[in-house]
Amino acid sequence: MSENEKKDYGTLKVEAIRNGSVIDHIPAGRALQILRHFKILRQAATEQIPITVGLNLASNRSGTKDIIKIGDYFLDQKQVNQLAFLAPGSTINIIKDYKVVEKLRPSLPERVTGVFACPNANCITNRENTVDTCFTVYESKGEVMMKCHYCEKAFSQDIVCKNLK
Amino acid sequence: MANPLYGRDIISISELTRPEIELVLDTAKRLKEHPDHTLLRDRVIASCFFEASTRTRLSFETAIHRLGGQVIGFSDASNTSMSKKGETFADTIRIITSYADALVMRHPQEGASRLAAEVSKVPVINAGDGSNQHPSQTLLDLFTIFETQGRLDNLSIAFVGDLKYGRTVHSLAQALCHFGAKLHFVAPKQLAMPDYLVDELKEKGIVCEFHDSIEEILPELDILYMTRVQRERFDESEYHSIASKFILRAATLRDAKKNLKVLHPLPRIDEITMDVDDTPYAYYFQQAANGVYAREALLALVMNEEV
């Protein structure tokens, strides 16, 4: 498929929603992971929430991207901040009556609880299912690092984010 | 006013301030000179070692007895309900800490002591959690360094051997950030100090230098802290070529400063040859003995408002 064909294909498939949330500029391949993590698909099935998912669409910014449009569903700030890890660089638009009423950018939270498994296989959190993982987030030498509250090991954000619970 | 460690969990050395560390060391010195058999009177301390230990467990239990307390617990977790019946770790800790006034705990997994502290209603003292922290070892190391050097500030200290997995090295290096030490790391590349820890030390203003051999740095050292290069981490031929570089012999100490002391968390296998024991530099056995006083101090401060 040529770049132009790819662009047209992307434009045609993503429709506007009346009310809800649009998560744009998701790194290609992450959209389904996000839906799973926020348990949106389960909710969609019971409450008939309309969802449009675009995978591997053309993006001027990053080459390819994913996009999610969820009707009648509004992401809260906690979910938005989790997107800083799940989909770095993504943007969130809140739509009301087909208009963007709020643009949100995920910002790094100081702590992330219960989202990722600790990459350290010998961390107690990988043995005790009853405990939520907890990472402190900080920057070191221009890199986002995450330190496990329990085993005290620090990892780059990329390594931790591969371990979605 | 209660001492700042009263009722506290002691999980990670990084949570202790310089004045709190100094309080432990002063108390250890006092208890070494003037034993006090009343500080844990009528107290029951649980000593739960989920993995093998000789020095740490016995010195903690000796400390409890010397302070007049009583010990319950186990040194082998294989006979507990957790191991036999699948009880969760958290439930095991909830039960044990409902019987005792404090818990001293070692566990092979990192973070176990932190989790124990979160579910326990009584103070938890970490006696080693996997490769993570071993704060009471750090306190006895600092106590020994102070005892031999008369100060903790601005010392030149080399760590030798397994710096990647060695929790004693990690904890001591972090604690030395309070005292402006110059740190030298001598390790095979495969067992080098983790980058994130070196970054953390440098961010706190600690000078860190890296060397290929002990001789390279020996003449300027105040403390030479040896650790064991673990044979199981290498194949046999690789181990021999690496380990030979990180063995301390009496002859290696020829150019040492007079005040140099050699420390080791023990057990020593072959990284310090026996002829070093007879030199005035060897201090690792006194260091191990100091474990009782440092642990007495820690227990006394955690369990008493005033010591």
Residue B103 Rama label (left phi>0; alpha psi -120 to 50; beta): beta
**In this predicted structure, what is the pLDDT of residue B231?**
76
Across the interface, of B108, B109, B132, the residue whose CB is closest to A152 is: B132
Is B12 within 8 Å of A152 when comparing Cβ atoms? yes
pTM for the complete prediction?
Answer: 0.86
Is A153 within 8 Å of B110 when comparing Cβ atoms? yes
B275 has a chain A CB within 8 A of its CB: no
What is the 3-state composition of chain A as percent helix, strand, coil, each rounded to the nearest 5?
Answer: 25, 35, 35
Strand A154-156 with A143-148, pairing: antiparallel
Is B110 within 8 Å of A149 when comparing Cβ atoms? no
Contact B140, B55 (CB under 8 A): no
**In this predicted structure, what is the pLDDT of residue A11?**
52
Per-residue pLDDT averaged across B154-159, rounded?
A: 97
Instruction: Work out the percent of chain B whose per-residue pLDDT is above 70.
Output: 100
What's the farthest any 2 CA atoms get from each other in chain B? 59
Per-residue pLDDT averaged across B169-181, rounded?
A: 95
Structure tokens at B133: 């922290």
Partner residues linked to A155 by β-bridges: A146
Is B199 within 8 Å of A125 when comparing Cβ atoms? no
Chain A contacts of B110, Cβ < 8 Å?
120, 122-124, 150-153
A124 has a chain B CB within 8 A of its CB: yes
Return the number of CB contacts < 8 Å for A and B: 60
Tell me the per-residue pLDDT of B96-130, one tens digit each, with 9 for 90 and over: 999 999 999 999 999 999 999 999 999 999 999 99
Other C-beta atoms closer than 10 Å to the C-beta of A72 total 13
Please count the residues of chain B. Answer: 307
Across the interface, of A130, A140, A148, the residue whose CB is closest to B111 is: A148
Structure tokens at B105: 């705990």
Is A151 within 8 Å of B132 when comparing Cβ atoms? yes
Instruction: Judge whether B85 counts as a catalytic residue.
Output: yes
Tell me the per-residue pLDDT of B281-298, one tens digit each, with 9 for 90 and over: 999 999 999 999 999 999
In CATH, what is the architecture of A3-104?
2-Layer Sandwich (3.30)
Tell me the per-residue pLDDT of A41-69, one tens digit each, with 9 for 90 and over: 888 888 888 899 999 999 888 799 999 99
The residues spanned by each domain of chain A are: 3-104, 111-161
Distance CA B307, CA B302 (A): 10
Query: Where does A111-161 sit in CATH, by number?
Result: 2.30.30.20
**In this predicted structure, what is the pLDDT of residue B193?**
94
C-alpha dihedral (B98, B99, B103, B104), degrees to nearest 10: -150
C-alpha dihedral (A49, A55, A60, A62), degrees to nearest 10: 110
Mean predicted lDDT score pLDDT of chain B = 94
Per-residue pLDDT averaged across B39-68, rounded?
A: 96
A142 has a chain B CB within 8 A of its CB: no
Nearest C-alpha of chain B: how many angstroms from A152? 7
- Catalytic annotation, pick one of B34, B85, B121, B258: B85
Is A153 within 8 Å of B132 when comparing Cβ atoms? yes
A62 has a chain B CB within 8 A of its CB: no
Domains of chain B by range and CATH?
13-133+291-303 (3.40.50.1370), 136-288 (3.40.50.1370)
CA distances (Å), B273 to each of A106, A128, B264, B276, in order?
A: 57, 42, 12, 6
Tell me the per-residue pLDDT of B54-97, one tens digit each, with 9 for 90 and over: 899 999 999 999 999 999 999 988 877 777 778 899 999 999 99
Residue B269: pLDDT band (50, 70, 90) is confident
| CA A154 to mean position of chain CA atoms | 22
B7 has a chain A CB within 8 A of its CB: no
DSSP string, B132-201: S--HHHHHHHHHHHHHHHS--TT-EEEEES--SS-HHHHHHHHHHGGGT-EEEEE--GGGPPPHHHHHHH
Comparison of pLDDT for B131 and B143, the residue scoring more: B143
Across the interface, of B12, B112, B203, the residue whose CB is closest to A124 is: B112
pLDDT in tens, chain A (165 residues): 555 554 554 454 557 889 999 999 999 999 998 998 888 888 888 888 889 999 999 988 879 999 999 999 999 888 888 888 888 889 999 999 999 999 998 888 889 988 899 999 999 999 998 899 999 999 888 888 999 999 999 999 889 988 877
Instruction: Work out the percent of chain B whose per-residue pLDDT is above 90.
Output: 82
Instruction: Judge whether B55 counts as a catalytic residue.
Output: yes
**In this predicted structure, what is the pLDDT of residue A13?**
52
CA distances (Å), B233 to each of B20, B159, B165, B227, in order?
A: 37, 19, 11, 14
Helix/strand/coil for A148:
strand
Partner residues linked to A71 by β-bridges: A20
**In this predicted structure, what is the pLDDT of residue B27?**
98
